[in-house]
Amino acid sequence: MTTEKTKVPDETAVRVALWRALHVRSDAPPHVVEDEVGLDLVAPGEDWQLRPDMAGEGMRGFRAGVVARARFVEDLVAQRCAAGVAQYVILGAGLDSFVQRRPEFAGRLRVFEIDQPATQEWKRRRLAELGHGPASWQHWVPVDFETGEVWWERLVENGFDPDRPAVLSCAGVTMYLSEEAVRDTLAQAARAAAGSTLAMTFILPTAFDEPEDPAAHAAAGRPEPGPRVHFRSYFTPDAILGLALKAGFREAQYVSTEEITARYFAGRTDGFRPAAGEPFMLAHT
C-alpha cells in the first residue's frame, strides 16, 4: 500500500524493510537473511536506527520474526524450484527484494509481485533510480484490493500460467484482512495447478494475551505485556487449516514458531529469536 499524499509505501512495508536491514546492521552473524535493498529504496535518513520501532528492545522479537518468515519462504522457493516449479507469486509484495538479491534464480523462475498499483509504481521508479534495471523474470501485477479486483485474474493476465505449479507466499498479510478476505484469498490461491504450495502466516488468538507468569511469557519469546494489538484477524491452527481445506487445498499443515526458531536460531547466545504468535500454514494443491 501507499499513502495518497506522499505516494510512498505505508509504514508497515517500510518497517519490514528497515527491520530486515537492521538485522544485518545490528544483530550478530550468522544472519538469517541479508537484505538491505529495502533500506536503499526507502532512504530513511541517517538516524533511522533511532526510530522507536527500531531502537526499542521490545521490537527484537518482531524483527526476528520478520527475517525468519522471509528465510522460510525463500528456502521453500529454492526447494520447490529444484523440483521443477518455475513460478513464484508474492501476495502483498511490498518492498520485497528477492529478484534483486537472488539472481541465481534468473532463467529458472518467474516471480510475480502482487500489490497496489501506486506501491508498484513507486517501487519500480526507485529500483530504476538505484540502478536495478528491469528484470525479465520479474512480473508486476498491480491489483487495487480496495475496489474488489480479483487478483487471480490479474495474475493470469500478466503472464502467470495457471496450468503449471507455483509457490505462493502470503506473509505478514492476513492480520490486516477480514476473515472473509482471508477466505477469499485462500479460495483464489487454491485455483493453482496441482503441485502448488501456499505459505501463509497468521496471528494466533493468544499472541498478545496478558501473561499469568511474566517470566514464562518472556521465556516463550512472546511480546512484552501491554495493550492488546488490534489486528483484524486471528486464527487457531485448526481454524486456518480448516479454511484451507474448505477452500479446495488437498492438504494443509501447521508450522509453529517453535519449529521456525529451532531451524534458524538454534545455537544463538544473544537471545535473538522470533516472538511467538505468527506461525505458518502450508497448503498444497
Confidence of residue 209 (pLDDT cuts 50, 70, 90): low
The answer to whether 98 and 111 have CB atoms below 8 angstroms apart is yes
For residue 21, pLDDT beyond 90: yes
> How sure is the predictor about 148, in pLDDT bands with cuts at 50, 70 and 90?
confident
Average pLDDT over residues 273-277: 91
H or E element, residue 126? helix 117-129
Q: What is the pLDDT of residues 74-127, one digit of tens each?
A: 999 999 999 999 999 999 999 999 999 999 999 999 999 999 999 999 999 999
Query: What pairing do the DSSP bridges indicate for beta strands 251-255 and 110-115?
Result: unpaired
Write out pLDDT tens, residues 10-20.
888 999 999 99
Question: Looking at residue 10, what is its pLDDT?
Answer: 81
- For residue range 232-256, what is the model confidence (pLDDT) as tens digits? 899 999 999 999 999 999 999 999 9
Confidence class of residue 4 from pLDDT cuts 50, 70 and 90? very low
Q: What is the DSSP letter of 111?
A: E
Q: Round the average pLDDT of the chain to a whole number and report it.
A: 90
Give the number of other CB atoms < 10 A from CB of residue 193: 14
208 pLDDT band, cuts 50/70/90, is confident
- What is the SS3 assignment for 115? strand
Of 3-7, 58-62, 120-124, the least confident: 3-7
pLDDT tens digits, 217-235: 555 555 554 444 568 899 9
pLDDT for 63 beyond 60 = yes
Question: Does pLDDT of 190 surpass 60?
Answer: yes
**In terms of Cα–Cα distance, which of 31, 41, 42, 18 is closest to 68?**
31
Per-residue pLDDT at 228: 47
